[in-house]
Structure 1
Amino acid sequence: MTSTNNELTVSMMGTSTKEEVVSKVDEEDDDSSSDSDMDYGSDSEWAGYNVLAETEPEWDVDSFDGHEFKINPRVRQMYRSQELYDKYYNNRLKAFENKGFLSDHLNGIYDVYLDEKMDGYNSTRDFMAELANVCVKKHNETKGNTLELVNVVRATERGAATWRLYITFMAREFPDGPLVEYQAKVIKFLGVKDPFPVLCRAAPKPGI
């Protein structure tokens, strides 16, 4: 269904944040100053910069909230120029600020390919719409609104046994109203039929 359908998150795969960052630097900077003699620091040091710790899901509570954006200072010495490091930094900041709704491979978050075929559905997009509608229903029940999903525009995923979906969709807040971008987060637990709705909210405006 997706390019990482059978993959686990970075931490579950046993790959440390340090190894992921070094690999990312090598991809972005072929002339990187990183080499076998460089002191990358210990895994325990990097643990403070690891993927976000997961908490028990709760409706209308974003697990990304309350976390501080930080990058290990050692990353700077891996880049041969400030320009390349700034590009890396800005990409990391953008991913952090989007709270899972854009791909972020260093945190084990990957794009979902919406137009692929899926058993029981015309496409993966239809399955994502079904999951997002679980959140829309919860949103309407708890807030007394009449939000209606129109179409899914993108989705990202994280995990396997605990499968977290971050779905961006267009919706109408009232009948015949204008299209508004919304976000839904839903969790599918292995062996549990019904998905768990976590979030349904209007997408933040750029710069806010």
Structure 2
Amino acid sequence: MATKPNYATTEDDADFAPTKKQKIDDEGDSDSSSDDSFISVGDMGTEEEWRAYRYYSKEPEWDVDSFDGREFIINPRIRKLYETQELYDEYYRKRLQAFESKGFIPDHSNGIYEVYLEDPVRIEHLTELVNVCVKKFNETKMDLYICRISFFFSILRGKTLELVNILRATERGYGNVKFYITFMAREYQNGPLVEYQAKAIKFGNNRPPFPILCRPSPKPET
């Protein structure tokens, strides 16, 4: 009988609110009694468990990213799938990079896939989702942002964040889909372009999309 998988996941989903120092071990249970010759990363247990893992039904709290506070740990058995340490190190590096991006880099092991932007209809769809997040951001954050940079107050008075163009996106889920979108924006009229991130859920039952967060993209470490 197959062991039940560990449902810890690198996903900011209200259905799976993280505990402090929750481990990321999505490749399965580390029970040494299991057959190490084959590791099924897609075995999600019962149909009910699978649906709970892949479908989002709750509206998450605004501006809360539950990637925060999680710990990245890969099942040690995965090492046995790689012939050399160099190959495993490359796998580990890519998984860690995806984890640290908090969903904005594809991570197939966690069901996060690239959204291809060749289709104008898809661009229109992503634009709608970003604008939902930008609207929420402007309603809740822009006043505080203006106060913090008071020397720009006269420039920013009455101005709000505005989407300029979509750069890239990833998605996760079935039916109700979570999108991670990177875009360029202006923080005030004629201001410089700034890279931002947005997360939103698109529900499959005609409910309006729900914003999760909107923030400047983190600066790359030097």
TM-score normalized by the length of structure 2: 0.67
1:1-208 to 2 correspondences below 5 Å? 18=27, 38-40=36-38, 57-116=60-119, 122-144=120-142, 146-207=160-221
RMSD: 2.8
Unmatched segments (≥5 aa) in structure 1? 1-16, 20-36, 117-121
Label 1:102 to 1:94 Cα distance change in 2 as closer, same or farther (>3 A): same
Question: How far 1:115 moved relative to its partner?
Answer: 1.7
SS at match of 1:207: coil
How many residues get paired?
Answer: 166
CA displacement, residues 76-123 of structure 1 (integer Å, 9 cap, x when unaligned): 12211111011000000000000111111110011111121xxxxx43
Label 1:176 to 1:39 Cα distance change in 2 as closer, same or farther (>3 A): same
Letter of the 1:130 partner, please give it: E
Label 1:60 to 1:131 Cα distance change in 2 as closer, same or farther (>3 A): same
Distance 1:40 1:115 in 2: 37
Structure 1 runs of 4+ with >6 Å offset: 51-55
Question: How far 1:193 moved relative to its partner?
Answer: 2.9
SS at match of 2:127: helix
Label 1:192 to 1:64 Cα distance change in 2 as closer, same or farther (>3 A): farther
SS at match of 1:93: helix
Label 1:180 to 1:111 Cα distance change in 2 as closer, same or farther (>3 A): same
Distance 2:192 2:133 in 1: 20
CA displacement, residues 34-92 of structure 1 (integer Å, 9 cap, x when unaligned): xxx8545799xx99xxx899775110001212211010111112211111011000000
TM-score normalized by the length of structure 1: 0.71
Distance 2:128 2:74 in 1: 36
Label 1:142 to 1:80 Cα distance change in 2 as closer, same or farther (>3 A): same
Unmatched segments (≥5 aa) in structure 2? 1-25, 29-34, 46-52, 144-159
